Amino acid sequence: MSLKVNLIQTDISWANHDTNRQHAAQIMRNMPQADIYVLPEMFATGFATQPEGIAEDIIEGTCLSLEWMKVMSTELDAAIVGSLAVREEDLTYRNRLYFVQPDGKITFYDKHHLFTYGGEHHLYTAGQERVVAEFRGVRFLLQICYDLRFPVFARNNAEEPYDAIIYVASWPQPRVQAWLALHKARAIENQCYVIAVNRTGTDPSCIYCGGTEVIAPYGKVLAQCQMDIEDNVTAQLNLEDLKAFREKFPVLNDADPFQMVKDN
């Protein structure tokens, strides 16, 4: 069994929801048909640490960009994945990664490791739970940007197993080598695929150069976007290959107990 993934490395127009949604839709419609389309962190606005007037209000469980994701998911018969800056009805702000499926099922993950260096923790509320979404027989751990620096939180294990990690990011150019090294490490140490989608362009604070890649469980780059420009790429995740590799080289069997990992 295999699953096709489209990775979309876009420039993002600052705080311009309509423009960003329309631009993403145009790219997605011109790509090969796939099972999953993955967009960068805060794809509708850019990475906003000051979310007032930028974040979308959640009303009765939804917002305009989430509704757009539902429409695109139905149109493309695929899951649509990307994070949004949202304001809950209790007025808390969240950096929320949505995994929207064409049958209407929605899974979301609230970013756990807020980027204190950039001030994200001042106004956003951190999520407390790991989230695994399952789609067409593949299990995906959902992660956002700065989460990449914390391997214990992402550790694969028998209690909460997964086949692939999705990282969506607004990871700045000066630290791109860390981005490239760490998402490769996460694939190797967890014996999983890693889908890592970063943006390009600029915002009021940073320059972004991409580095969007799919990494195989043994560390090989399966597909990658060109650096420094908008680009997109398609990759296949092969579950038979993953199973065979884990059986041949069962590293995860020797991992520390999950309870020990959580306690640490």
Distance CA 256, CA 245 (A): 20
Instruction: Identify the active-site residue in 56, 63, 70, 111.
Output: 111
41 part of the active site: yes
- Collapsed DSSP state (helix, strand, coil) of residue 203: coil
Q: Which phi and psi angles does 116 have, rounded to 5°?
A: -65, -30
Distance CA 8, CA 195 (A): 11
206 part of the active site: no
> If you count them, how many residues does the chain have?
264
Instruction: Identify the active-site residue in 145, 192, 209, 225.
Output: 145
DSSP H or E stretch at residue 260 = helix 258-263
- DSSP string for residues in 6-25: EEEE-B--TT-HHHHHHHHH
DSSP H or E stretch at residue 96 = strand 93-100
Q: Which phi and psi angles does 80 have, rounded to 5°?
A: -115, 130
- Which structure tokens are listed for 21? 């949604």
Q: How many CB atoms lie within 10 A of CB 45?
A: 22
Distance CA 7, CA 235 (A): 8
- DSSP string for residues in 41-62: TTTTT---SS-TTTSEEPBTTB
Degrees, nearest 5: CA angle 130-136-139:
25
Catalytic residues: 41, 111, 145
